[in-house]
Structures are given as C-alpha cells and as structure tokens.
Amino acid sequence: MKFVFVTGGVLSSLGKGITSASVGLLLKSRGLKVTIIKIDPYLNYDAGTMNPYQHGEVFVTDDGGETDLDIGHYERFLNENLSKRNNITAGQVYLEVIERERQGKYLGATVQVVPHLTNLIKERIKEVAKDYDVTVVEIGGTVGDIESLPFLEAARQMGLEESSFYLHVSYVPFVKSVGEIKTKPTQHSVQRLREIGIQPDALVARGERPLTSEARRKLALFSSLPLRAVVSAHDLDNVYRVPFLLADQGLDDLIFEKLGLGVYADRSLDDWRDFTERVESSSRELKVAIVGKYIEVRDAYKSLIEAVGHAGARIGVRPRITLVDSIRLEREGTESLRDYDAIIIAGGFGRRGTEGKIAALRFGRENRVPTLGICLGMQLMTVEWARNVLGLEGAHSEEFQPDTPHPVIHLLPEQRDIDRLGATMRLGGQDVLLKEGSLLRRLYGKDVVRERHRHRYEFNNAYREAFVRSGLRIAGETEGLVEALEWPEHPFYVGVQFHPEYTSRPLRPNPVFVGLLEAALG
C-alpha cells in the first residue's frame, strides 16, 4: 500500500481539500487506482448534527454517510462514489477504542492514545486503502492543533510501515504594507511538523500571489527540500484549474519518484481541460437565485453551487449565483426575485425562513420563472400548492406545525419512534422510478435513477389524488414514496425529495440542473 498524507499549516480553510482532490485526479489520470480519505479531528461522530455556519454543508454518500464537505470535492474530482468509510473522525475512533476496552479486547492493558488509538487510526486507513494503488489521506485542521496530534502520530508511524509521501499545505501571505511575500509563518509550521517527527517531502505554498524566486528559495532552505519540491499554489478564479497548476510544477512526478511507482502513462486530462475551458469561455450569463437561510456561508450550499456550474458548462452559459435570504423575503416580499432567470429553493431544517421559501415558490409558479425545489424545497412546494391552488387553509408540514389541519407533509412512519438525531434520517442512495411522459424522465433519459436522500418528512399520500386532479404531476416514486413533483403547464416547476447536487460531477452534470438552466435560457 502507498499513501500521500496531506497536512495543513498556519490556518484552516486554505484549500487542503482541493489540493488533495487535485493530487488524486493527477494520479488517477496516469493510470493509478486512487481513493481519498478525510480525517476530521473533531469529537462529533460524523457531520450530521453540525451547524452549517460552523461546518458548511453535510455531504451525503451513496451508502448513507453524513460526511465532511471535502468528500464532495473528492467525488467530483475523481468522478467516483466514495463511502462513509472515507471520512474518519476523532469521535469514531475514540468511541471504538472505548467499546473495545469495555469488551475486554485489550486484555487488561492500560488503554492509551499510543498505541491503542493510533493503531486503530492506522487500521481504519488501511482498511479503506487495501483495494487501491495509492490512497491520499487529508488530515483536517493545522499542525499544532491538539486534537490533530494522534492522527499526525499515526501518519508518522505509517511512514515507517508503508511507502508514504508527506505533502504540507501552508499559507504564505503577501503583506501589502511592505510589498513582500512572507515565509516565516510557513517556516514555523514546517518546524512544528518536524518536531512531531514528519519531514515533508513537498510543500504547497498557498497565497494570493505566485511565489517569487526568493520566497521559494527560502522555503526550500528552511524546509530541507529541493527547489522543485516547493510548489506555488496562488489563488485561481476557477478551482478546477488547480490540477494543472500542480502538474505544471511536477508535483505528481515527485510523488511517483518517492513512492517508487515506476513508469505509468502520461497524464490524460483532455476531458478535464475541455471542461475548464467551457467554464471560462461561456459568455452568456444566467442569474440564478438560491433561496436559503445560511447565506452568510457559501460552503453551506457548496455542492449545489458546484452542480449549477457543471450544468452551465455543459450548455455553454455562465451562471451568476446569488444566495437569497429567505428570511428577508418574509420581511420585504419577493419583488427582488424578478431579477433572476431561475430560482432554486434549497434544503434545510427548522422553521426559520420557511415562509420566505414558500413565498419564493409562489412567485416562481405565478411568474413562470424556472423553479427547482430540493428536499425541503419540494416539501414547501407541496405546502404552497396546497394552500394557494387547492385552497387548503392552514396546510403545512408536521415538522413545523404538528397540529396543522392539512398535514400535506408528514413524518415517515419509520421515523416515529426515533429519539436520536445522528444518522437516523432516510439517508443515502435510493432507486427512483421516473414516470413515463414526465419531464424528469426525458431529462435523465431512463426510467430508474439512483439519487441520494437526507430527510425525515415526506409527501402525505392521503392528499395524492387531490394534487394529481389539480394538475401537479407525481413524476418519481420509490416504493410508494413520492420522490418528485412537476407542473407540466410551467416552463420548469419541479420539486425533488432527493439531492441531485450530490451526484453532479464536472464531466457528468446532473440532468435536473441542466434542465433548469435550459428552461431559463428558453
């Protein structure tokens, strides 16, 4: 087994996830079988109960994992489905160590971070890696974070046991007041990493500007690296160009040499290059509103934003996306939505902002603006239709109004006796049967599609006949559960209970978003 360990320095949110995904893409493009693991040092078991303001979106895998958003980057760059096992958290490994201790599996030993916790971390990593040529392992946080230390120690030990490459991603700021790139923060970060026992094999220097030759020389000297192992990774307008930036400086060649990978094929990135060029060459703009309540943090809608971009590249338009506050729509009305060519009602939880989303849905329906409701968006589309088309006064979801006279959205039966929040929703991939003659059937080009879910509430089938008689088509189902709604008399008025953004890829955009943008063009 061979590994690339990616660590971070100076500050978080530098782009380790994009760097890891780009390295994975480069290695895969040369004929290797590659997977990527994200290690999160927080004590949460998974990302399922975490606040989007703190953590960004929860990315759902096909096998039902509620994972870090970086798993979404990995899937998009590798163009492959990953598993919940690809996201390892401190909460998972600490819990398993304690459970093993309670079961007597340590034979009375004093259970310690080293070796018991670090051995389990290595075991988890190797279990995922066993079927691959190379496994990229991104360790969340920064060097020096106390919660990251057991994972860094496990990575150090794996360098003694397996063929390993250590890649350190660190911030190299440009200080405007002196007009100079400063290398000291990264020098200290590398020093801290070496104190832990890890000598980096390459350094990815993140910053606003490309490294100067003097800055590169300093970083190489104080990191004990050859010049070619210091890679400049300045900000780009298009993150999908990062693989080319790294490849042009030979980072994948360094990895091949250190890991003894021999001679593999040259990089095959023609499809990826075509995609990035389409993204950058599209001249016609479409204004797209994503209506939600976490608008201060774009990462809360990361996969959704990327999926719209994938669709835009496919049809040759540049989506200009604005996050619209559903709470503001409640206060100020929906006239501001007239500025947009398409409206997406995003998913979410909790009552706050729901009336603003309902108002946006009514605006899209009545003004014939192409509109897509996702998960909660579809549920609120049902509520809006019930109130304003069917005339069911007080119609609502049981989630927000348990005593509503018309619970057009109700709790799934299997959810009624659940008293825990984490990993208890309807999660992961399900086969959805699309109805013959529906718009979605035409867009997907097949009658069964696999899409991912994350919800507890569902369309109430007791109201099915009333909705169908009024003209709203049930376009998709899974074993009797309503998965999709559409209104044939509208250019594009579609609600889906699943999350199509999770399965959208740069080279394979999800058809739902392609259909939305095509309708907006029309």
Three-state SS string over 395-433 comes to CEECCCCCCCCCEEEEECHHHCCCCCCCCCCEEEEEEEE
Would you state the pLDDT for residue 416?
A: 84
Residue 209 contacts by C-beta under 8 Å, 6 or more apart in sequence? 174, 181, 234
| Residue 268 in tokens | 């095959």
Q: Is the pLDDT of residue 92 over 80?
A: yes
Q: What letter represents residue 288's amino acid?
A: V
Topology given in CATH for the domain delimited by 2-273:
Rossmann fold (3.40.50)
Measured CA to CA, the distance from residue 47 to residue 88 in angstroms comes to 11
Q: Which helix (H) or strand (E) segment is 5 a member of?
A: strand 2-9
Q: Is the pLDDT of residue 322 over 80?
A: yes
Neighbours of 226 (CB within 10 A): 10
For residue 495, the cross-strand partners are 373, 485
Q: Taking Cα atoms as reference points, which of 39, 51, 46 lies closest to residue 63?
A: 46
CA 339-355-493 angle, to 5 degrees, is 55
Catalytically active residues are 375, 499, 501
Q: Taking Cα atoms as reference points, which of 10, 38, 25, 65 lies closest to residue 454?
A: 65
Would you state the pLDDT for residue 390?
A: 98
Q: What letter represents residue 185's amino acid?
A: P
Would you state the pLDDT for residue 504?
A: 98
Instruction: Give the 3-state secondary structure of 65-87.
Output: CEECCHHHHHHHHHCCCCCHHHE
Residues 331-350 have a mean pLDDT of 96
Q: Is the pLDDT of residue 263 over 80?
A: no
Contact 169, 5 (CB under 8 A): no
Q: What letter represents residue 52's amino acid?
A: P
Domain ranges in the chain are 2-273, 282-521
Question: Going by DSSP bridges, is the β-strand pair 342-345/284-292 parallel, antiparallel, or unpaired?
Answer: parallel
Residues 370-377 have a mean pLDDT of 98
Chain position carrying tokens 């057991």: 150
Would you state the pLDDT for residue 507?
A: 96
Instruction: Using pLDDT thresholds of 50, 70 and 90, give the confidence band for residue 420.
Output: confident
Q: What letter represents residue 263's amino acid?
A: V
Would you state the pLDDT for residue 179?
A: 87
Measured CA to CA, the distance from residue 454 to residue 63 in angstroms comes to 12
Residue 521 contacts by C-beta under 8 Å, 6 or more apart in sequence? 284, 286, 315, 317, 341
Q: What percent of the chain has pLDDT over 90?
A: 91
Contact 242, 76 (CB under 8 A): no
pLDDT in tens, 462-488: 999 999 999 999 999 999 999 999 999
Would you state the pLDDT for residue 53?
A: 84
Would you state the pLDDT for residue 327?
A: 96
CATH class of 282-521: alpha beta
Residues 40-51 have a mean pLDDT of 94
Would you state the pLDDT for residue 141?
A: 92
Q: Is the pLDDT of residue 418 over 90?
A: no
The alpha carbon of residue 167 and the mean position of all alpha carbons in its chain are separated, in whole angstroms, by 22
Instruction: Using pLDDT thresholds of 50, 70 and 90, give the confidence band for residue 266.
Output: confident
Would you state the pLDDT for residue 283?
A: 84
Residues 130-148 have a mean pLDDT of 95
Measured CA to CA, the distance from residue 32 to residue 25 in angstroms comes to 10
Measured CA to CA, the distance from residue 73 to residue 505 in angstroms comes to 10
Q: Is the pLDDT of residue 144 over 90?
A: no
Q: Is the pLDDT of residue 181 over 80?
A: yes
Measured CA to CA, the distance from residue 389 to residue 362 in angstroms comes to 10
The CA-based dihedral angle spanning residues 456, 459, 461, 463, taken in that order and rounded to the nearest 10 degrees: 140
Chain position carrying tokens 């509503």: 404
The pTM of this model reads 0.95
Peptide bond into 115 cis (omega under 30): yes
What DSSP assignment string belongs to 141-183?
A: S-TT-GGGHHHHHHHHHHHHHSEEEEEEEEE--EETTTTEE--
Measured CA to CA, the distance from residue 79 to residue 76 in angstroms comes to 5
Residues 267-286 have a mean pLDDT of 93
| Residue 81 in tokens | 């489905």
Measured CA to CA, the distance from residue 110 to residue 321 in angstroms comes to 55
Domains 2-273 and 282-521 share a fold: yes
Q: Taking Cα atoms as reference points, which of 268, 380, 374 lies closest to residue 31?
A: 268
Residues 15-32 have a mean pLDDT of 96
> Which residues in 99-120 are b (16+ Cβ under 10 Å) and which e?
eeeeeeeeeeeeeeeeebbbeb
What's the number of CA atoms in the CB half-sphere (13 Å) around residue 90?
17
Q: Taking Cα atoms as reference points, which of 183, 190, 177 lies closest to residue 215?
A: 183
The alpha carbon of residue 68 and the mean position of all alpha carbons in its chain are separated, in whole angstroms, by 7
Q: Taking Cα atoms as reference points, which of 158, 218, 154 lies closest to residue 185?
A: 218
Q: Which helix (H) or strand (E) segment is 358 a member of?
A: helix 354-366
Q: Taking Cα atoms as reference points, which of 66, 89, 205, 190 lies closest to residue 138?
A: 89
Residue 332 contacts by C-beta under 8 Å, 6 or more apart in sequence? none
Of residues 417 and 24, the one with the higher pLDDT is: 24
Measured CA to CA, the distance from residue 293 to residue 300 in angstroms comes to 10
Would you state the pLDDT for residue 67?
A: 97
Collapsed DSSP state (helix, strand, coil) of residue 435: coil
Q: Is the pLDDT of residue 422 over 90?
A: no
| Residue 49 in tokens | 């109960």
Would you state the pLDDT for residue 265?
A: 75
Instruction: Using pLDDT thresholds of 50, 70 and 90, give the confidence band for residue 12.
Output: confident
